[in-house]
Amino acid sequence: MNSKQSSKLRQALKEIASDIALHLDAPLHLKLWDGTSYSCSATSSATQNSELAIVIADPGAVPSLLRRPTLDRIIRLYAHGKIDFEGGTLIDIGAVLSDKNTRKRLKNLSKLKLLKMLLPFILMPGADVSATRSFEGDETGGNRNKRNERDNIGFHYDVSNAFYELFLDDAMVYTCAYFSDWSHDLAKAQFDKLDITCRKLRLKPGEKLLDIGCGWGALICHAAKHYGADALGVTLSQEQYDYSLDRIEREGLGDKVSVELIDYRDVTGKFDKISSIGMYEAIGVAAIPEYMSKVRSLLKPDGLFLNHGITRRAKRKATRFAARPEQRALVRYIFPGGELDDIGHTLQELERAGFEVHDVEGWREHYALTTKMWCGRLTARRAEAIGIVGEQTYRIWVAYLAGCSLAFSRGSARIYQTLSGHNAKGPASVPPSRADLYQ
């Protein structure tokens, strides 16, 4: 793109920013590749105290979006640094753009007018975003087998333990924290999550616990140290397996805790208690009956099973999770093979498998805050993250964590802990009240 084209594009974007400002009146700026900045507010009061800005760092980003105005293209442009943000996190940008009044005002914009302003630039060279980190394979999980599952898990979790250490708490817990008070820090909330999970399972000294998808070993070590359980964790991530082995040795828990690098379907034996924390969304809806059946076959007749999983709102019509653009992006760039169930179907499948459901607790706001904290912590250590995994991976993870926080805040994503017993016959394996959980 020559200087004349760049100048014409800059002028068009200035006019567009002015038109947006008349309708939007939001505390936001549009900043261009040469440093010029235009307010997206019709009044100075909306932006005078805000440095929040969407940045078009490369003029080629505009024709790229004109030719392919999709979420996938936006992600690729952001991953390559062609578009960016300043003055806050992506959560702040998302909060402004998702505000009900802002969305209402945006609908009043003339899309035809905007297109006419930019149409002359559609033939300009676009930004090169071809080499973007994405999963090479069946990201939707339509053709599942054990090899695919290992590849799916490895794509997300085997990025680098050092990378995850940048934004997780010291215990390396990569699932929703539990805030008994919203003022608690991340470490306290994650400790409380591990503890409430053990209390819900009514863990006792000497009981055998199986943790499916054990992550970096936080729960199995917590269960052994604080409840005297004999714990086994299973994972498909080589990085998590290596870290957990080292952790068990470091904490002197070799006689109480073990970890195996295997698929949960290959686990044998019987267990008093089974937990699955943040693994449920990785198995795929079609595989849920097999999952429930396998878990129940591993559980002793008086045992308890705690299933902790992200869900979506139930739909009037049954559709595959990956049908929406944001869902396709999630499985392509973050969680290949991931698919969300709804809580009604989860409970139905538990009962079909023979379980008795005892408790269901929603943690949506807890995960909105957890992912917000993760996003902030990772953003604060940007240089270190880029040094470990490169700029693309860093950017994609920041976008992912911000998107999760916004999704849970809006209610488009939910999360539940569900406690079930092995069967519905005879005395239940839980007390007559739940007072013991919250003492």
What is the C-alpha to C-alpha distance for residues 346 and 319, in angstroms, rounded to an integer? 16
Query: 89 to each of 54, 179, 195, 377, how far by Cα in Å?
Result: 11, 22, 31, 11
404 is an active site residue: yes
Catalytic residue among 198, 214, 375, 404: 404
What the block records as the tokens of 155 is 């794509």
Q: How many residues does the chain have?
A: 439
Q: Given phi > 0 = left and psi -120 to 50 = alpha, else beta, which region is 278?
A: left
67's CB contacts (< 8 A; 6+ apart) are: 122, 126
What the block records as the tokens of 151 is 């590849």
What is the C-alpha to C-alpha distance for residues 386 and 374, in angstroms, rounded to an integer? 16
275's CB contacts (< 8 A; 6+ apart) are: 197, 201, 209, 210, 211, 212, 219, 305, 306, 308
Cβ contact 355:422 at 8 Å: yes
Q: What are phi and psi of 29, to 5 degrees?
A: -120, 155
Cβ contact 235:174 at 8 Å: no
Q: Among all residues, which ones are annotated catalytic?
A: 404
